[in-house]
């Protein structure tokens, strides 16, 4: 699936879930602190949400963020995923997440996050209902937990964040970064 097809399928998933939950664009925009116009553009596939936007949307609609990876491809072995079987989300602000877990309904999910130089999860903090952690494979990842000082992680550094801990992250370097992310 190319970036255009992925953006279209993500926009359909968001719109269909919002409509299924009988939530108007206005109510959703209030819940996530974004404009109705922005949400309308996301649902029409014109704009890409940031990681923070999609996390806020999933929390407001009562689903885990991994819900948006649910368009899986058939696999020869159900407990294994190969690179050509993975679902990818391309976010605004230079972040690409690849679902590497075979199942999203299990006790945890794994993502490979690819961060372009200067990439960020968004302006605001994420407030995810999942406990999560990560392992930096390549490059550098800077994480802000709450109002604390930023912490920069390097290859082979790892972190673990409790559920509902407000945080944001970015790649503040001029080189790409790669992180294995695990969610409960």
Residues 87 and 65 in one domain: no
- Containing 32, the helix (H) or strand (E) segment is helix 25-32
* Separation in Å, CA 159 to CA 43, 155, 178: 33, 12, 14
Residue 29's CB is within 10 A of a number of other CB atoms, namely 17
Which residue has better confidence, 75 or 44? 44
Which tens digits make up the pLDDT trace of 3-12? Answer: 666 657 888 8
Which residue, of 45, 69, 93, is where some domain finishes? 69
User: Considering the entire predicted model, what is its pTM?
Assistant: 0.77
Residues 43 and 93 in one domain: no
Within 13 A of 81's CA, how many CA atoms are on the CB side? 19
Residues 53 and 99 in one domain: no
C-alpha–C-alpha distance, residues 57 and 68, integer Å: 10
Residue 120's domain comprises 83-183
C-alpha–C-alpha distance, residues 140 and 138, integer Å: 7
Which residue, of 42, 69, 96, is where some domain finishes? 69
Our count of domains for the chain comes to: 2
Per-residue confidence band for 144, with pLDDT thresholds at 50, 70 and 90:
very high
Residues 139 and 166 in one domain: yes
Closest CA to 121 of 175, 43, 179: 179
Which tens digits make up the pLDDT trace of 53-96? Answer: 999 999 999 988 878 875 555 677 888 888 878 888 889 999 99
């Amino acid at each position: 699936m190319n970036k255009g097809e992925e953006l279209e399928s993500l926009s359909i998933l968001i719109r269909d879930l919002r409509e299924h939950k009988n939530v108007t664009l206005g109510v959703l925009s209030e819940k996530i602190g974004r404009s109705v116009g922005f949400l309308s553009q996301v649902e029409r596939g014109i704009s890409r949400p940031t990681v923070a936007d999609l996390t806020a949307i999933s929390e407001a609609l009562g689903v885990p963020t991994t819900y948006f990876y649910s368009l899986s491809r058939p696999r020869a072995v159900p407990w294994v995923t190969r690179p050509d079987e993975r679902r990818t989300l391309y976010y605004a602000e230079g972040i690409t997440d690849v679902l590497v877990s075979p199942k999203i309904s299990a006790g945890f999910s794994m993502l490979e996050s690819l961060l372009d130089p200067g990439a960020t999860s968004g302006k605001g903090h994420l407030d995810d209902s999942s406990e999560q952690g990560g392992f930096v494979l390549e490059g550098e990842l800077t994480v802000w937990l709450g109002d604390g000082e930023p912490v920069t992680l390097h290859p082979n550094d790892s972190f673990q964040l409790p559920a509902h801990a407000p945080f944001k992250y970015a790649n503040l370097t001029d080189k790409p970064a790669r992180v294995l992310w695990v969610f409960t």
